[in-house]
Structures are given as structure tokens and as C-alpha cells.
Amino acid sequence: MRLRLLALTLDDELSIGELAELLDESQPNVSRHAAALRQGHLLADRREGTRTFVRVSSRALGDAVVQDALASGRILCESEGRMRRVADVLRAREAPAHEYFARPGKSHGDFLSADMGAYLTAIGLLLKDRDLAVDAGTGDGAFIDVLAPIFRQVIGVDRSAARLHRARERVERRAFANVTLLETDLDTPVLRRAVEVGSGGEGADAVFASRILHHAPQPAKLVADLAGLCATHGALVIVDYTRHDDESMREHADTWLGFDAEELCRFAHMVKLDDAHVTRIPASLCGDGPDHHLPWQVLVARKGSDRIVRTDKIRRRRNDNG
């Protein structure tokens, strides 16, 4: 049992309930075995509201005996078909979000004041790289109101047909000629081709993901998918909640109850993003939606070092000054 448990938690962090399903055991029995492995420093655990997630401890991976145990456990799990079932368990995490976002949801209205686009256009002139932005999980397109006046091209992507219908109505109402809307997932060739075409093969100058990471069954994978859309020196901007304990948010298809700042930075570093930093967003700026009471934060990271960009700026300033 413990060999199987270790093997299953090597590649993916899994909850005790998910492990019970994969191992065809009761949750109390799985918890008992996991507790023994934690005491031996072979498993690391993390509390997520009322759930406990476990994964093979990184400090144990350098031990040759542990490596033997993992190999033996994997042989057992593969021969019994348990490894193949892990993908089904991870997909099941996503089912509530699929169902939730298939509903039209509440519209955000026009989002911005009537003249705000003019000011955003002026601010956009200060940005060096503003050819292409991607709005991941665009929903009804509220954030497009901000991006379209600043970037020359904007791609809004969402897998909910109902919400994209509202986004198209918004784009038509605003007469944004520089916006493309796609109904697809974030890891599909359709989106990658659209970004390549829109950027001439360079990638997006900025990829935004506003409050979608907590819906992802595998947050680290989603960050990797988003980073893959960025150009070299392009920015990834993720707005999401800090860790909280409001279990009622599961009614809104929240898979995770926020993230620690260190966790977001770790996701960024795993996919080789540089200069990752997290900033808390003042509560007074978090609107009046069902999540306005939660603590919000924003992660900003870049693909590749921006040292060359800074050097170019210094050279241009010297040339301008003679």
C-alpha cells in the first residue's frame, strides 16, 4: 500500500480522497498510511481548506532506497492500471469548473467609464512592447475594455461559449477592431497558432490571467501553458487570491482556496520565468462581486532575463543625449 501511495504522489500532488479512489481504499486507511510516511519524512502534506494534499517529499528523492521504493510502487500501479486512472482523477477536479462556466453568469456591464478608453490609450503610449496581449479566461470580456485601447492586438480566449457570446457583444458595442475571440482551451494548437500569427512568430508581449488559476486542476501546468504563449522578455501577469479558508467559494467552482506568494513564484521559476514578484492588491480595488472579500494579489514575471532590454534602453538614452 505504501509503495503504491508513494508512486502515485511522485508526479502529482493528490488529496487523500483522490488517493482513496485510486487505491480502492477507505480514506481513514489511506490517511493512516500517509501519516506513517509523513513521519518518516517521505511524504510532504499541505492543507487546502478541509482537504489534505500529499506529495513525495523533495528531501527524500535523493535517497537510493526511496528511488527503489518508487520504482517498485510504479511497477505495481502500472500493472494494476492505477497510473492510467490518475489522469481521470485530475480531470474530475475540473468538472465543477466546466459546469459552472458553461452558464452565462452575471455581466459586468460596460466595466469602465465612458471616457476611460481615451486615458488608457494615452497610458499605452508609454509602453515599449504592446503589439499583442492575450486575455486568458476572458469571460464576458470585461478586461478587454482595459487591454484593447493599450495593445495593438488582443486575443481573448475562453472555453465557455455562453460567456464568449457576451464578450463578442461587448467588443461590437465598443467597436474594437483589434480584438480576436477564441473558444478553446489554453493548451491547444488553435491558440498557439493564433498567437504566432498575431505576433509574427514572436509570442505575446503580455499574457494576463485574471482569477482563473484557482479553477485549474493543475495550477503549475496552467502557468506553464501561459508562459508558453509569451515572447522572449514578454510578461506573464496573474491575478488571483492569496490563501484563504472560505469554503463557500467552492460553490463558484473554486478548486483551490488561493495561493501563497511563494507558491506563485515557485510556479514561475519552474517554467524558467525571471524576476517573479507578487504584490497585494488593496481591498478597496477588488470590486463588489462574490469574491470581493477575499485577499487578492498579482504575480508578474518575465520570460527570459530583461537585462538585454535594460541595456538597449540605456544605449538609446545615451544616443538621445548625444
Tell me how far apart the 2 most distant CA atoms of the chain are, in Å.
75
CATH architecture, domain 116-314: 3-Layer(aba) Sandwich (3.40)
Lookup: cell for 19: 488517493
pLDDT band for 288, please (50, 70, 90 cuts).
confident
Q: Per DSSP, which regions of 132-268 are E strands? A: 132-136, 153-158, 179-183, 204-210, 230-241
Q: How many CA atoms lie within 13 A of 8 on its CB side?
A: 32
Least confident segment among 17-31, 109-123, 303-317: 303-317
* Buried residues in 301-311 as b, exposed as e (16+ CB within 10 A): bbbbebeeeee
Residue (of 99, 94, 39, 61) closest to 218 by Cα position: 94
Neighbours of 206 (CB within 10 A): 25
Could you give the dihedral angle defined by the CA atoms of residues 278, 279, 283 and 289, in that order, rounded to the nearest 10 degrees? -40
Lookup: cell for 153: 492586438
Bigger pLDDT: 173 or 321?
173
Lookup: cell for 65: 532506497
Lookup: cell for 251: 460553490
Summarize the confidence of residues 26-42 as an average pLDDT. Answer: 94
> According to the model, what pLDDT value does residue 107 have?
59
> According to the model, what pLDDT value does residue 319 have?
42
Residue (of 206, 217, 238, 243) closest to 128 by Cα position: 206
Bigger pLDDT: 49 or 153?
153
Is a pLDDT exceeding 50 seen at residue 311?
no
Name the percent of the chain in helix, strand, coil, to the closest 5.
45, 20, 30
Could you give the dihedral angle defined by the CA atoms of residues 302, 305, 311 and 317, in that order, rounded to the nearest 10 degrees? 10
Domain residue extents for the chain: 2-95, 116-314
> According to the model, what pLDDT value does residue 109 have?
60
pTM higher than 0.85: no
CATH architecture, domain 2-95: Orthogonal Bundle (1.10)
In the predicted model, what is the mean pLDDT of the chain?
A: 89
Length of the chain: 322
Is a pLDDT exceeding 80 seen at residue 229?
yes
Lookup: cell for 160: 465557455
Q: Specify burial of residue 291 (Cβ count, 10 A radius: 0-12, 13-18, 19+).
A: middle
pLDDT tens, 45-96? 988 888 899 999 988 888 899 999 999 999 999 999 999 999 899 888 888 8
pLDDT band for 318, please (50, 70, 90 cuts).
very low
Q: Per DSSP, which regions of the chain are E strands? A: 14-15, 43-48, 51-56, 132-136, 153-158, 179-183, 204-210, 230-241, 273-281, 296-303
